[in-house]
Chains A and B, each alone.
Chain A
Amino acid sequence: MAYEVNGKTVEHDEEGYITNLSEWSKELAEVIAKAENIDMTEEHWEVVNFLREYYDEYQIAPAIRVLVKAMKKKFGPEKGNNKYLYELFPYGPAKQACKIAGLPKPTGCV
Chain B
Amino acid sequence: MSDVKKFLYVNRKAPHGTIYAWESLEVVLIGAAFEQDVALAFVDDGVFQLVKGWDTGELGVKNFQPSFTALGDYDVQKVYVEREALEERGLTEGDLIEMTYEDEDDDWAEKSSIRIVSREEMAAIMADSDVILSF
Chain A residues close to B by CB (< 8 Å): 57-60, 62-63, 65-66, 69-70, 107-109
Indicate which residue in A58, A70, A108 contacts B34 across the interface (CB closer than 8 Å).
A108
Indicate which residue in B31, B34, B67 contacts A59 across the interface (CB closer than 8 Å).
B67
* B73 & A57 in contact (Cβ 8 Å cutoff): no
* A69 & B73 in contact (Cβ 8 Å cutoff): yes
* A58 & B29 in contact (Cβ 8 Å cutoff): no
Minimal beta-carbon separation of B34 from chain A (angstroms): 7
Point out the residues of chain B lying under 8 angstroms from A59, CB to CB.
62-64, 66-67
Instruction: Count residues on chain B whose CB falls below 8 Å from chain A CBs.
Output: 17
Minimal beta-carbon separation of B15 from chain A (angstroms): 13
* A62 & B34 in contact (Cβ 8 Å cutoff): no
Chain B contact residues, majority secondary structure: helix
* A62 & B26 in contact (Cβ 8 Å cutoff): no
* A108 & B33 in contact (Cβ 8 Å cutoff): yes
A107-B66 contact, Cβ under 8 Å, with A63-B74, A69-B73: no
Q: B3-59: which residues lie under 8 A (CB-CB) from chain A?
A: 26, 29-35
Indicate which residue in A57, A62, A108 contacts B30 across the interface (CB closer than 8 Å).
A108
**Please, which residue of chain A has its CB at the minimum distance from the CB of B63?**
A59
Question: Which of A57, A60, A109 has the most C-beta atoms of chain B within 10 angstroms of its own C-beta?
Answer: A60
